[in-house]
Structure formats: C-alpha cells, structure tokens
C-alpha cells in the first residue's frame, strides 16, 4: 500500500525523476541535424526528462539557422573549438544546471536516438560512471572500413595495456556520463580527437566504465573528419595523448 503510494507520488510529482541532457556537437551538419532532432522528439524513458542541446561549433553552413528554427535550446560557440571543446561546453551546461546524466551523440545521424534507453538502462543497472555505445560488441549495423577497424583495434589494445580496461570501440562518440563524470570533465576534457583519451583519463581517475552494444548507421550526409593522411595523424596524436596521460598519472601518484 505504502509502496504503491510512493510510486504514485513519485510519478506524479516529478520527485526522483532524472534529468538527462543530450549533447549533440554540430559542425556543418545542415543536412543531418533536422532529421535527427525530429527523431529525438518522441524519445522517452521511465522517470526521465530529456533536454536536447545541440552545440553549434561555428559551422560555415546553415546549421545555426536550422537550430534557431528547430531547437528550443542550443549552444552557439563564438569560436571554433573542435569536437572536444564543443562537447565540454555541453558538459559544463549539464554541470551548471544539475543534470544527472549527459549523453553525447554525433550530429551526423550515425547514432540512432532509439539506442539512448540502452545506455541509460546500463548506467542505472551497473552503476557505471561512463557508458560507451559500441559498434563492435555485436557485429550489427554500420561497421566502418577494415582499415579503420584495425586502427581502432590498436587503440583498444593500447588502452587495455595502459589502464587494464577492456574496450571494444574506444572511438565511439556515443556515450553517457553520470554526475561524477560530468563534474570531472567540466574541469578537463581533451581538445582534439578526445574519444579514446577520455576513456584513459576517466579510468585512471578511478571512474567505472562499461560498454553496451549499439546499432550504428552509415552517415546520411557530410564527410568523415578523418581520412587519408589525417588518419595517420589521428593515430599518432591519440597514442601520444594516451601515453602522456599515463605518464602524468605515473608521476603524480607517487
């Protein structure tokens, strides 16, 4: 009887409802952003309020105009900060307005909003601080090219060697942060190609990371930011960053 009353009370009076912020970093996503926002509208999960926050990172196309028309709240960065800075501004927003969870989702439509409940469920059940959406746990959906998978494998191994954390898809930009992770990343978040670096940093800071299989689509429009020579640069930059973070923890721990 009491239990029933508590349940009724909670569902009707918004107590214990968790606030979730969905951060969508956008750089020239004019072709993809409106369908994505429309897809996000019907999103719902038990006892959860969603706020959708696209972050316009000085796009040179009509992204800003589309956001003004289609989105109630969004961030418009005055300088181009790159994906890391864009995501961090969302995280700072989440920290300031007391969100319980922040979910990062790419603006190019590769990450279907229907997978958001999967991430939330995992976070609620396992109590992890960061939950990654991984393409490579089940071999379903968009899998990227062989070359890229190899690169991701190398980075996964590097992360396992430095932190002992087994990761299937360290480059996935589909991830959930809880309050603890939000507080940590409001302080520091890597600038360029942040995804693998964030995992190492969080793990060494003692955060719990888990991974769930999600379905990803091929991009609907626009081009990947990493191709050709820049993929080599990506590998070098990310490996170096991981090595430096590991080093900094080796020196400060003792």
By C-beta, is 23 or 131 nearer to other proteins?
23
By C-beta, is 36 or 55 nearer to other proteins?
55
Binding residue (CB under 8 A) for other proteins from 24, 37, 55, 152: 55
By C-beta, is 90 or 151 nearer to other proteins?
90
- Taking the C-alpha atoms of residue 114 and residue 178, their distance in angstroms, rounded to an integer, is 19
187 is written with which tokens? 């302080």
Binders of other proteins in range 92-131 (CB under 8 A): 92-93, 96
Question: To the nearest whole angstrom, how small is the minimum distance from the Cβ of residue 113 to other proteins?
Answer: 22
E strands of 100-195, at which residues?
Answer: 101-104, 130-134, 175-178
174 is written with which tokens? 């589909």
By C-beta, is 189 or 234 nearer to other proteins?
189
Question: To the nearest whole angstrom, how small is the minimum distance from the Cβ of residue 217 to other proteins?
Answer: 28
User: 10 Å Cβ neighbour count for 205?
Assistant: 15
> Which run of H or of E encompasses 117?
helix 116-126
By C-beta, is 59 or 110 nearer to other proteins?
59
The reply to whether 52 sits near other proteins by the rule CB under 8 A is: no
Question: To the nearest whole angstrom, how small is the minimum distance from the Cβ of residue 232 to other proteins?
Answer: 23
Query: Going by C-beta distance under 8 Å and a sequence separation of 6 or more, which residues neighbour residue 187?
Result: none
- Nearest-5° Cα angle at 11, 7 to 15: 95
The reply to whether 237 sits near other proteins by the rule CB under 8 A is: no
Question: To the nearest whole angstrom, how small is the minimum distance from the Cβ of residue 89 to other proteins?
Answer: 4
Contact window for other proteins (CB under 8 A) among 38-46, 88-96, 104-112, 164-172: 88-96
- Nearest-5° Cα angle at 171, 169 to 177: 90
Q: For residue 25, what are the β-bridge partners? A: 55
Binders of other proteins in range 66-85 (CB under 8 A): 73-79, 81, 85
By C-beta, is 7 or 188 nearer to other proteins?
188
The 3 state secondary structure assigned to 174-236 is CEEEEHHHHHHHHHCCCCCCCHHHHHHHHHHCCCCEEEEECCCCCCCCCCCCCCCHHHHHHHH
The reply to whether 88 sits near other proteins by the rule CB under 8 A is: yes
User: 10 Å Cβ neighbour count for 228?
Assistant: 7
Binding residue (CB under 8 A) for other proteins from 46, 140, 191, 220: 191
By C-beta, is 167 or 184 nearer to other proteins?
184
- Taking the C-alpha atoms of residue 72 and residue 53, their distance in angstroms, rounded to an integer, is 9
What does the binding site for other proteins look like in residue numbers (CB under 8 A)? 55, 73-79, 81, 85, 88-89, 92-93, 96, 191
């Amino acid at each position: 009887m009491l239990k029933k009353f508590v349940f009724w009370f909670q569902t009707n009076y918004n107590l214990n409802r968790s606030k979730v912020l969905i951060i969508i970093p956008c750089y020239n996503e004019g072709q993809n952003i409106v369908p994505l926002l429309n897809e996000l509208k019907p999103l719902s999960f038990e006892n959860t309020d969603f706020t959708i926050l696209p972050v316009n990172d000085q796009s040179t196309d009509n992204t800003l105009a589309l956001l003004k028309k289609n989105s109630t709240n969004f961030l418009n960065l005055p300088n181009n900060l790159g994906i890391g800075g864009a995501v961090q501004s969302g995280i700072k927003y989440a920290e300031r307005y007391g969100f319980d969870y922040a979910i990062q989702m790419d603006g190019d439509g590769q990450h279907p909003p229907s997978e958001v409940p999967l991430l939330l469920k995992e976070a609620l059940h396992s109590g992890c601080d960061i939950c990654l959406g991984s393409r490579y746990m089940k071999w379903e959906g968009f899998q990227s090219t062989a070359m890229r998978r190899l690169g991701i494998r190398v980075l996964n191994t590097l992360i396992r060697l430095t932190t002992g954390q087994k990761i299937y898809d360290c480059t996935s930009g589909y991830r959930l942060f809880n309050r603890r992770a939000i507080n940590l990343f409001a302080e520091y978040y890597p600038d360029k190609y942040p995804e693998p670096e964030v995992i190492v940093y969080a793990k060494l800071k003692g955060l719990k990371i888990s991974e769930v299989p999600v379905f990803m689509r091929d991009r609907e429009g626009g081009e990947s930011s990493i191709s050709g020579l820049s993929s080599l640069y990506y590998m070098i930059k990310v490996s170096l960053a991981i090595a430096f973070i590991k080093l900094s923890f080796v020196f400060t721990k003792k």
